[in-house]
Structure 1
Amino acid sequence: MLWGSVVLFTLVVGLFAATLFHPRFGRGLSQSGWIVWGGLVLPLPVLTALTFYAFSQGEFLLSGGSAKTEDVLEVRAVGSMWQWQFSYPSLPGSRTATGLLHIPAGRTIEIIAESEDVIHSFWVPRLGGKIDAVPGHANRLRIRADQPGRYGGVCSEYCGTGHAGMRFEVQAHTADDFEKAIIGEVTR
């Protein structure tokens, strides 16, 4: 997406620079021609490619990618003023964590986002899209960390005076370290 937008930006700035530094450059085209060719025809292939890429990535996350259904790990994320609680319903003996989500790297994670009070929004920018957590409703989002590491997460829906501090961290582990982390042996 970034590279597609860079291409589009470069095309538009290039045309602008050409007309600015070579005043006769654009005189062969009428004003309506500039609008049609420069504003519609030129960006259309790039925007079309970006749209199909975005749809394919969305379908990849919704279907779990190449992962089978049994390989998807469910994590319950409950937002309340002004923190996130994470639990692992399918893993007996796991602990509930506040503000720190442990996930295994290389595995698809299905976040079940819920709220106890107002609308919050679960968002980990480096791992995928975002989803609203609405009181009385469970929304689902799939994320995946390809490499072990730490990823910042935020609530991206204004939820009151403590909204700015409603941050959390996602820590992606190797498979062995993940099992230790969810039973409390690995800390921040």
Structure 2
Amino acid sequence: MDNHIHPTIFKISKKQRSEKLNQTPRLLWFTGLSGSGKSTLANAVESRLFEEGYHTYLLDGDNVRTGLNNDLGFSDEDRIENIRRISEVSKLMMDSGIIVLSAFISPFQKDRELISNLVGEDNYIEIFVDCPIEVCEARDVKGLYAKARKGLIKDFTGIDSPYEEPTNPFLHIHSDREKLNFSVDQIINAVKEKLSF
């Protein structure tokens, strides 16, 4: 760290903010291939948590790339930086007492480990949204897989860039086999205890 940078010590602590909101801030990290259903699932989980009185915020890949990370491409280096920035933003939001949900492909295991290390292993809840690539391609309303297969999009995860499946996720959702409401119930039931203060 630069010798001229001196982070401010705030008067209000993360613990005080959590007490005020009556919840424990956590990071629910949805990872999976493009088209696996990460965003749909994260949206549905956030809606349910919000209805139940939790204070939440959802960070989504495409939304973040149109703003905060609009200077990044899809090379391995840019993907790593994309996840690093999202991790830092998630950590700041958690410090405010918020439960953060993040839906990003995040294809590399070492990057997901970086997230866990940054926010704290107890705070990181990894949800693997598993779906066969052929199903993801069939669902692909944006036509991204077709473009990638024609060589029009380079470094596309699952085509010419790898996706490293989580080895020990907190939850393993099979979005091609499970109804959305069933998956949402499964997640809510599994995380509720971790969110209570």
Same fold, TM-score > 0.5, yes or no: no
Q: Which has the larger radius of gyration?
A: 1
Q: Structure with the greater relative contact order (CA < 8 A, sep ≥ 6): 1 or 2?
A: 2
More helix by percentage: 2
TM-score by length of 2: 0.22
TM-score by length of 1: 0.22
More strand by percentage: 1
